[in-house]
Amino acid sequence: MRNKLFIYSLFISSFFFLVEGCSKPKISPPNIIIIFTDDQGYADLGTYGAVGFETPNLDQLANEGILFKDFQVSQAVCSASRASLLTGSYSQRIGVRGAYNHTARVGLNPDEVTIAEMLKSIGYSTAIFGKWHLGHHKKFLPLQQGFDEYMGIPYSNDMWPVDYDGTPVAGTDHRKNFYPQLPLMEGNEQIEEIERLNKQLQTVNKLEKIMAVEGQIKQTYYRGFDSITRDDAFKFEYRSKRPPKNYINALISFANSIIYTQVLSEIYQTHLDPRIGYLHTTNFRRFSLNLDIAEIFKPVIGDKVILSIINKKILSSNNFIDELKGIVLNDNGKTIFKKSMNSIFSLASYIIKG
């Protein structure tokens, strides 16, 4: 009897346990939002004592939540600190140091497990908006690191050819001329760059500023080469000259030198002074007019030949040599390239004389 009573009690207890468990509403996991800022001092928020400005929305987060007075980071710099935040690892352990720029060939290793990947594994949808700064090549971008959605910039907002007062400096001797135009990314794709620069042209009325914007557009144009070429050995990466740092930059520099020579020889057939230019500042120590006119032909002749030669595999790495801490065509490579350029010049001359 006691055994029956025990079993009966156990059954009733289990039944009520199941009923109670089934009757409880399902608890949804919380939303998780992380706001990570660069270059923020301790007293840059009202709740931490900011003077001269207010941050009411961020102060509200602190007032309604927990306010911490101490913060540690693996490195006090952009890329390294982000790597630690996403992976929970010391940045040195996963090989991320300093702050990457547009010349970086590395990024956060996609094999590292990120917060986004951990949350996705339990049903979360993930997104990141703003600065990424953990590698701008496709394999390092957020969509390859566990995020479903991404819109923002690939590196710092001050890594572009614009001075801090808003003046474009591309094509000048300003130190920030080193940077290309800062791209806006959506997913894995770059958007709205040339269109935005074209609108910027409508707001400038000085020749040097027009040339600066033109320089930014040219940087964007060059970065499109990687979408056209089909040979990984001829990746563009970024424009380098004096000396060129890779094969495709060596080709661009050599093509430009041929065009400069050809244009100058044509100017000499006229009464024009090649030292007096319009777009490039007149300088009697250089042929400014030559530079002006050559700008027209560099993309339609020089770049056309370069892309054709690469995609037809007419040149290979065997046609280049390391020289003066850079890369240049060897004699055989120059001969092959000049032959292709001359065929274009001959065709153009035939059409003009037509």
Q: What is the pLDDT of residue 283?
A: 66
Residues 94 and 216 in one domain: yes
Question: In this structure, what token pair is assigned to residue 201?
Answer: 């042209």
Residues 171 and 40 in one domain: no
Q: Would 26 be classed as within a structural domain?
A: no
**Roughly how many angstroms between the first and final C-alpha of the chain, as a whole number?**
116
Q: Would 20 be classed as within a structural domain?
A: no
Q: Would 11 be classed as within a structural domain?
A: no
Domain that holds residue 50: 33-71
User: How would you class 271 by CB atoms within 10 Å of its CB: exposed for 0-12, middle for 13-18, buried for 19 or more?
Assistant: exposed
Reduced to 3 states, what is the DSSP secondary structure of residue 150? strand
Q: What is the pLDDT of residue 25?
A: 64
Residues 263 and 204 in one domain: no
Q: Would 1 be classed as within a structural domain?
A: no
Residues 210 and 329 in one domain: no
Q: What is the pLDDT of residue 199?
A: 64
Residues 250 and 345 in one domain: yes
Residues 67 and 110 in one domain: no
Residues 47 and 95 in one domain: no
Q: Are the CB atoms for 274 and 264 separated by under 8 Å?
A: yes
Domain boundary at 169, 194, 222, which? 222
Q: Would 28 be classed as within a structural domain?
A: no
Q: Are the CB atoms for 313 and 345 separated by under 8 Å?
A: no
CATH code assigned at 307: 1.20.120.920
| Domains: count for the chain | 3
The pTM of this model reads: 0.54
Q: What is the pLDDT of residue 6?
A: 38
Q: How many CB atoms lie within 10 A of CB 99?
A: 18
Give the span between the Cα atoms of 220 and 192, in whole angstroms.
Answer: 11
Residues 260 and 200 in one domain: no
Q: Would 243 be classed as within a structural domain?
A: yes
Q: What is the pLDDT of residue 15?
A: 38
Q: Would 170 be classed as within a structural domain?
A: yes
Residues 63 and 96 in one domain: no
Strand partners, 191: 184
Residues 321 and 277 in one domain: yes
Question: In this structure, what token pair is assigned to residue 53?
Answer: 């400005």
Domain boundary at 172, 199, 222, which? 222
Residues 101 and 189 in one domain: yes
Per-residue pLDDT of the chain (354 residues; tens, 9 = 90+): 444 443 344 333 443 344 444 555 677 889 999 988 888 888 899 999 999 889 999 999 999 999 888 888 888 899 999 999 999 999 999 999 989 999 899 999 999 999 999 999 999 999 999 999 999 999 999 999 999 999 888 998 888 888 877 777 776 778 888 888 788 888 998 876 655 666 666 666 677 777 777 777 777 777 778 777 777 788 887 778 888 888 889 999 999 999 888 888 888 888 888 787 777 766 666 778 878 888 888 888 888 888 888 888 888 889 999 887 889 999 999 999 988 888 777 655 544 444
User: How would you class 96 by CB atoms within 10 Å of its CB: exposed for 0-12, middle for 13-18, buried for 19 or more?
Assistant: buried
Q: Would 2 be classed as within a structural domain?
A: no
Give the span between the Cα atoms of 197 and 21, in whole angstroms.
Answer: 61
Domain boundary at 187, 222, 257, which? 222
Residues 277 and 201 in one domain: no
Q: What is the DSSP letter of 202?
A: T
Give the relative orientation of helices 288-297 and 247-267 as an angle to the nearest 10 degrees: 120
Q: What is the pLDDT of residue 352?
A: 45
